[in-house]
Amino acid sequence: MNIDPIIIVPGEPKSIFFEIFFKSLKKIRIVSPLILICSNNLFKGEAKKFNFKNKIEVLDRKYFKAKPLLRKKIYLINVELKTHKISIKKRHLINQYIKECFKISFELINNGCSKKFINGPIIKENFLSRKYLGITEYLGHKFQVNKIGMLIFNEKLSVCPLTTHLPVSQVSKKISVKSIVEKVLLIHDFYEKNFFLKPKIGVLGLNPHCESKLKFNEDKEIILKAIHHSKLKKINVKGPFPADTFFMKDNRNNYDVALGMYHDQVLTPLKTLYEYDAINITMGLPFMRVTPDHGPNTKMVDKNISNPNSLIKCLKFLNKSV
């Protein structure tokens, strides 16, 4: 039986990715072939630094389709990057490098090579234009998908922010009945398709205690109506719940997913509860994209103390997926 390879774009050339990658391979058994899309020189330098001696095979992207891939083997498609140019002054070169890595990965996905994709951490404010709030939106645009969602996944409880990397001052302007219903449907369909489960979804309110002294209360006028519309579609959804109490044990045990109105409303409590035991999944794409639930952490580079658990979870998750 053929197994889809896992395509991996390590992301920022200066990050903790390779450290956690090499640590991950020592801790888990990988069945799928791995295809790294990055600089071969960078990889060799990082492998030497972390005493990684496994053999890899460099692939020619032009003749990739004719090459049968072996299970448990690591392959690499080289993208040129001179390591002495990894500096903030050469940011445009780093951006070109990351874009080329993404471009090759998209070609492989579109050509039917694989539907499993991991990208390592990327400094969004340096790489993305103002057109995109985050890599989630960047991928959605590249694959012409409008209805996408960020799911921070943990087997016990997952969270999804309605708005992603949006300034808090703009959040209330982006909340609508339509956007909430669409996100609830996206979560429901994703869980049904991938986990064969009708998820129990709890929707959080926007305001403290779901109350407002203003004439217009988003929790009553928008969120409650969206929940009602979602229930008419036979979806198991309840709310709105006050965010300050939802994540208490007796409450969170009753739900599979918490849909919050903004990024930190749901990511802060989840990371407090589970730390690195979660992965970031993009719902709505025509392939399975996951990424470790943390950033490049450049302050930790070369210290060899970074926790690989989130990447381990990514690899295990894709190893199991069809």
DSSP track, 269-280: HHHHHHTTS-EE
The letter for the amino acid at 76 is L
All residues at 6 or more sequence positions from 128 whose CB lies less than 8 Å from its CB, including other chains:
134, 135, 138
Residues 113 and 24 in one domain: yes
Please give the model's pTM, rounded to 2 decimal places: 0.92
Spatial strand order of the sheet with 116-119 comes to 56-59, 74-78, 34-38, 6-9, 116-119, 288-292, 279-283, 149-153, 158-161, 257-260, 201-204, 237-241
- Domain match, 174 and 206 both: yes
Residues 226 and 319 in one domain: no
Q: How many domains are contained in the chain?
A: 2
Residue 72 shares a structural domain with residue 201: no
Q: Which domain holds residue 34?
A: 1-145+285-322
Same-domain status, 132 and 27: yes
Which 3 state secondary structure label does DSSP give 56? strand
Quick one: 202 and 79 in the same domain? no
235 and 319 in a single domain? The answer is no
If asked whether residues 93 and 186 sit together in one domain, one would say: no
- Walk along the chain (322 residues) and give the pLDDT tens digit of each residue: 468 899 999 999 988 999 999 999 999 888 899 999 999 999 999 999 999 998 899 998 776 665 678 888 999 999 998 666 566 677 888 999 999 999 999 999 999 999 999 999 998 888 887 788 899 999 999 999 999 999 999 999 999 999 999 999 999 999 999 999 999 999 999 999 999 999 999 999 999 998 888 788 999 999 999 999 999 999 999 999 999 999 999 888 999 999 999 999 999 999 999 988 999 999 999 999 999 987 767 777 777 878 899 999 999 999 876 5
Cα distance between residue 201 and residue 191, in whole Å: 11
Helices (H), the chain: 17-27, 40-49, 91-110, 124-127, 135-142, 168-171, 177-195, 218, 224-231, 243-246, 249-252, 263-274, 309-320
Q: Based on the fold, state whether residues 273 and 233 are members of the same structural domain.
A: yes
Distances (CA, A) of 26 to 17, 30, 52, 223, 308: 15, 10, 9, 46, 10
Same domain, 131 and 1: yes
Q: What is the CATH number of the domain that holds 316?
A: 3.40.718.10
Are 164 and 183 in contact by the 8 Å Cβ rule? The answer is no
Query: What residues are paired with 280 via a beta bridge?
Result: 152, 291
Contacts of 195 (CB under 8 A, 6+ apart): none
Report yes or no: 127 and 98 within 8 Å, Cβ to Cβ.
yes
One domain, residues 300 and 278 = no
Helices vs. strands in the chain: H and E counts, helices first: 13, 12
Q: Which residues pair with 36 in a beta bridge?
A: 8, 76
* In a shared domain, residues 159 and 11: no
